[in-house]
Chain A
Amino acid sequence: MKKLLILGGGTAGTIMANKLNKALDKEAWDITIVDREKTHYYQPGFLFIPFGIYNKQDVEKPKANFFPPGVNVIFSDIDKIEAEENKVILDGGRVLPYDYLIVATGTHSRPDETPGLSGPNWYKNIFDFYTLEGALALKQFLKSWEGGKLVVAITEIPFKCPVAPLEFVFLAEAFFSEMGIRDKVDISLVTPLPGAFTKPLATKMLSQLLTEKNIKVVTDFYIEKVDNEKNTLVSYDEQEVPFDLLTIVPMNMGAEMISRSGLGDDMNYIPTDKHTLQSKAHKNIFVLGDAADLPTSKAGSVAHFSADIVYENLLSAIDGRPMTASFDGHANCYIETGYGKGALIDFNYETEPLPGTFPLPGIGPFDLLKNTSINHYGKIMFRWIYWHILLKGKELPVESEMTMAGKRKVTG
């Protein structure tokens, strides 16, 4: 029996297990997936929890519900990959040999990487919303908060779902308005980037919205530490931003296991061919989702689109055919902006987010780079699509390759 091993059963690993289970000959192939957690979290839903829009039950389901029968499932911590030997060692010493390996161990919040962050005020007046615990603790805090300085900060680039901090400030603004305390809350977004977002047209559109909503943006601020006595963020060039409530996206890093295996860069991401999605160092290892060092968003949509490419290329490699599928970096992100509205961006390695309609040219129903109600419904529908279609590896009516149809080129 030949062995195909998938490490990580989150968004990307689960999609892959479902796709390959249908395609590989069961007489010849044994498929195994390993994850340490029994619960699958719908991470995009964490954003809505602090504001009471989603509850815990809305974002959790047993992982086992999404793995197809016929795939071996092992719930265990992974100790390391021994790529030269084509085998994986689990915690406790169990050895799993493989012919092909798919690494989908994601990226994780690391508050421990910033001095003072996970200190005495962690979950007192400093929170993250990138974990369920953080989002729930923040919800509790917001119930009785009477206002003050809210700082929403980004520690380091890259981090998963780069639009999430923007969505957070937009939703917070609407939340405080509804609570009747908007005039008592001062909201700022602190970022190491030179603007609200990285791509020029999207930054322009989003900056306008931020100004309209009276949300301040502090740019080029690279956090060195958190001062727990003064309640300030301190940057490497010794500037300070005071806060009463800090909501932070901690440093994101790939799995420690990648570093133990000697396969990662300095942030534990695996150097990956951005078109074939193979590990640069080992041809029989494919890297999918947030674990890869690709120059595109770390997002569920990217995991979904790139799964099609890994699927094609892996089947070609198995058959000894040349690999012809090439990933273009396609990402597609809904951006919640509060008050039942949202924006949508669609882009890839080469093309920045442009205005237009999506997915049907001229028809939509979604509007690119525009703040509309229908885009908000897109985001809300996405949760259903995630659980019922995306994870199961079924086809969505959206091509994995980005299309220019429906987009308007903008000059100047």
Chain B
Amino acid sequence: MAQETIAGKNVAVDQEGYLANPEEWTKEIAGEMAKDIGIELTDKHLEVIDYLREQHAQGAQLSIRKVGKSGITDIKGLYKLFPGGPLKHSSKIAGIPKPSSCV
């Protein structure tokens, strides 16, 4: 596990830059990570991120489909908010582990 300073805070990250400990997450870190991906966070983004953090804390398995049914946005909307990898990018910004699709 590497240490990295993001938005002035020293945090543990994995090889791909996902936070190792979701508790170390702050809104400022989210903003920085989003910027790296090329996303400017809006309230809608933050709503999705809050939802992801909540679900993760409850131990839920996340999927694009599930977020699309959350009532916050639909799947198309999610792609517009986080182009190129809706669940990968939103999870990273939310400070939760990279979604693993299990077989």
Contacts and interface: CB of A to CB of B under 8 A. Distances in A.
Nearest first, the 3 A-B pairs at minimum CB distance are: A295-B102, A162-B103, A237-B79
Contacts of A293: 61
A237 B75 CA distance: 9
Contacts of B69: 266
A198 B65 contact: no
Given A156-B65, A157-B101, A198-B100, 13 more contacts: A158-B103, A198-B101, A198-B102, A198-B103, A220-B85, A222-B75, A236-B64, A236-B75, A266-B66, A266-B69, A267-B65, A295-B61, A297-B103
Interface in A89-147: none
Interface in A322-346: 331
Interface size class on chain B is 10 to 19
Interface of A: 156-158, 162, 193, 197-199, 220, 222, 224, 236-237, 266-267, 293, 295-297, 331
Contacts of A157: 63, 101
Contacts of A237: 79, 83-84
Given A224-B76, A236-B75, A158 B64 contact: no
Contacts of A266: 65-66, 69
A295 B100 CA distance: 10
A293 B79 CA distance: 26
30 contacts: A157-B63, A158-B101, A158-B102, A158-B103, A162-B103, A193-B101, A197-B103, A198-B100, A198-B101, A198-B102, A199-B103, A220-B85, A222-B64, A222-B75, A224-B75, A224-B76, A236-B76, A237-B79, A237-B83, A237-B84, A266-B65, A266-B66, A266-B69, A267-B65, A293-B61, A295-B61, A295-B102, A296-B103, A297-B103, A331-B103
> Looking at chain B's contact residues, is the secondary structure mostly helix, strand, loop, or mixed?
loop
B60 to A, nearest CB: 9
A197 B101 CA distance: 10
Contacts of A296: 102-103
Nearest to B64: A222
Nearest to B87: A222
Contacts of A197: 103
A237 B63 CA distance: 16
Interface of B: 61, 63-66, 69, 75-76, 78-79, 83-85, 100-103
Nearest to B63: A157
A265 B102 CA distance: 16
B75 to A, nearest CB: 5
A192 to B, nearest CB: 8
Contacts of A220: 85
B100 to A, nearest CB: 8
Nearest to B66: A266
Nearest to A156: B65
A386 B95 CA distance: 45
Contacts of B76: 224, 236
Contacts of A297: 103
B79 A236 contact: yes
A331 B101 CA distance: 16
Contacts of A222: 64, 75
A220 B75 CA distance: 14
A266 B61 CA distance: 11
Nearest to A161: B103
A197 B79 CA distance: 23
Contacts of B101: 157-158, 193, 198
Nearest to A163: B103
Nearest to A237: B79
A27 B31 CA distance: 67
A331 B102 CA distance: 12
Which has the most chain B C-beta neighbours within 10 Å: A157, A237, A266, A295? A237
A293 B61 CA distance: 10
B62 to A, nearest CB: 11
Which has the most chain A C-beta neighbours within 10 Å: B66, B75, B101, B103? B103
A139 to B, nearest CB: 27
Contacts of B65: 156, 266-267
A369 to B, nearest CB: 15
Contacts of B61: 293, 295
Contacts of A331: 103
B73 to A, nearest CB: 12
